[in-house]
């Protein structure tokens, strides 16, 4: 992640990928032009990195020059395109290849065609490293396209945001972060996690995503993911992480306008935590915290034994089973505690006291995120 002025940008296209695409474009153009000596023309300021890498890789003789046009102010493309630096050489009868860093609306490209209308060139070809098909509004042919990308603002590899970011060797995409609060809620058996989740989702207008509930819903309704998960469960096998992530993704998508999410029952491993981080990053959001209710083991045992008198659950009536469940919880949670602590996102909250007192403690943490 990089911050330029007031905005954050997330990694989008790696330096290695860019160089791979530049080499492919070099190969295509060199093949098409044969032994001809072309004139490559870069559009400043954005194309300087692309042009530099391109001509270094070009295997044959060529000439290079630049023209400078201006069409951007901050994040917005303007209608007024100024030709700041023009051509200084005679291009009559020459094959000219325009090397553009990016083509979106096509306004700059229209000006390029206007400029070259009276230059008597043999042929004018357009090569662009990045292309936004959703934004393109012109009919000019693009002869060579490196990478098609969504219509989102990018910086790096010559492209800037208000003057910053041109020096970055990779491409970063504007992170349109929603103001969401997302946290993973943990608690040992008997800690009252379910009760607190209900209070917190109402207080903060969050969506509570319980992995158990999501599984039951998908299996009961025989969704494709539910049937896939059931096929593993019927064989006594663990459901692959990706299946669970796909289910969670579907839940997040259903609630795209939510103010945030409480994740309950997932993740359980580092790999799952990383997968959840990736999922939220794709939504231009993040996990803000792991919040764990902390209750003394003896208190938990007594709570569960009391609950067992009315719940009818066998695992709430047997003390040895209860203690084993608590032991398993700590073994699994310890891994995640380290994972989130490394990101300064772990919060332990005293889970002993009245429901109201515990809710207040949890709220203090959430309010600080």
Q: How confident is the model at residue 36 (pLDDT cuts 50, 70, 90)?
A: very high
pLDDT (mean) for 172-189: 85
On whether 272 is known to bind a ligand per the annotation, the reply is yes
pLDDT for the residue numbered 332 = 81
Per-residue pLDDT, 79: 52
| Percent of the chain whose pLDDT exceeds 70 | 95
- Residue 323 marked in a binding site: no
Q: What is the pLDDT of residue 282?
A: 81
- Whole-number pLDDT of residue 202: 95
pLDDT level of residue 1 (50, 70, 90 thresholds): confident
pLDDT band with cut points at 50, 70 and 90 for residue 70 = low
Say what the pLDDT of residue 229 is. 94
Residue 237 assigned to a binding site: yes
The per-residue pLDDT for range 85-130, each reduced to its tens digit, is: 678 789 999 999 999 999 999 988 998 998 898 899 999 999 999 9
Q: Is 325 annotated as a binding residue?
A: yes
114 is known to lie in a ligand binding site: no
In the numeric block, which tokens belong to residue 158?
Answer: 């010559």
Does the annotation flag 313 for ligand binding? yes
Highest-scoring range by mean pLDDT, 8-17, 33-42, 63-72, 178-187: 33-42
- R_g (Cα) of the chain, nearest Å: 29
166 assigned to a ligand binding site: no
> Active-site positions?
193, 268, 307, 313, 325
For 42-62, what is each residue's pLDDT tens digit? 998 899 999 999 999 999 999
Amino acid 244: pLDDT: 95
Task: Check residue 152 and give its pLDDT.
Answer: 87
Q: Is residue 97 marked as binding?
A: no
190 is in an annotated binding site: yes
Instruction: Give the pLDDT confidence of 126-177 residue by residue, as tens digits.
Output: 999 999 999 998 999 999 999 999 888 999 999 999 999 999 999 999 876 5
Is 238 flagged in the annotation as binding? yes
On whether 267 is known to bind a ligand per the annotation, the reply is: yes
Beta strands across the sheet bearing 95-103: 76-85, 63-73, 39-44, 95-103, 123-131, 144-148
State the average pLDDT for the chain.
91
């Amino acid at each position: 992640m990089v911050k330029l002025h007031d905005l954050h940008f997330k990694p989008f296209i790696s330096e290695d990928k860019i160089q791979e695409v530049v080499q492919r474009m070099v190969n295509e153009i060199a093949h098409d032009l044969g032994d001809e000596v072309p004139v490559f023309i870069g559009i400043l300021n954005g194309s300087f990195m692309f042009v530099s890498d391109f001509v270094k890789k070009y295997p044959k003789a060529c000439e290079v020059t630049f023209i400078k046009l201006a069409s951007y102010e901050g994040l917005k493309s303007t209608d007024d395109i100024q030709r700041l630096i023009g051509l200084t050489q005679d291009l009559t009868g020459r094959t000219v290849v325009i090397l553009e860093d990016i083509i979106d609306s096509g306004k700059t490209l229209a000006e390029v065609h206007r400029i070259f209308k009276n230059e008597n060139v043999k042929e004018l070809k357009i090569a662009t490293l990045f292309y936004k098909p959703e934004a393109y509004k012109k009919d000019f042919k693009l002869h060579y396209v490196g990478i098609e990308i969504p219509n989102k603002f990018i910086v790096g590899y010559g492209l800037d945001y208000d003057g910053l970011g041109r020096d970055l060797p990779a491409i970063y995409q504007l992170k349109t972060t929603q103001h969401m609060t997302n946290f993973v809620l943990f608690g040992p058996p008997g800690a009252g996690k379910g009760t607190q989740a209900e209070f917190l989702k109402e207080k903060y207008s969050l969506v509570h995503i319980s992995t158990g509930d999501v599984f039951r819903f998908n299996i009961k309704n025989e969704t494709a993911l539910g049937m896939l998960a059931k096929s593993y469960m019927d064989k006594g096998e663990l459901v692959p992480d990706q299946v669970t992530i796909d289910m969670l993704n579907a839940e997040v998508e259903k609630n795209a306008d939510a103010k945030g999410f409480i994740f309950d029952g997932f993740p359980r491993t580092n790999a799952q935590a990383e997968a959840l981080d990736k999922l939220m990053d794709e939504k231009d959001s993040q996990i803000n915290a792991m919040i764990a209710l902390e209750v003394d083991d003896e208190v938990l045992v007594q709570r569960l034994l009391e609950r067992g008198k009315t719940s009818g659950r066998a695992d709430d009536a047997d003390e040895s089973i209860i203690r084993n469940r608590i032991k398993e919880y700590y073994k699994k949670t310890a891994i995640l505690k380290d994972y989130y602590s490394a990101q300064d996102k772990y919060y332990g909250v005293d889970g002993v006291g009245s429901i109201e007192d515990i809710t207040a403690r949890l709220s203090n943490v959430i309010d600080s995120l």
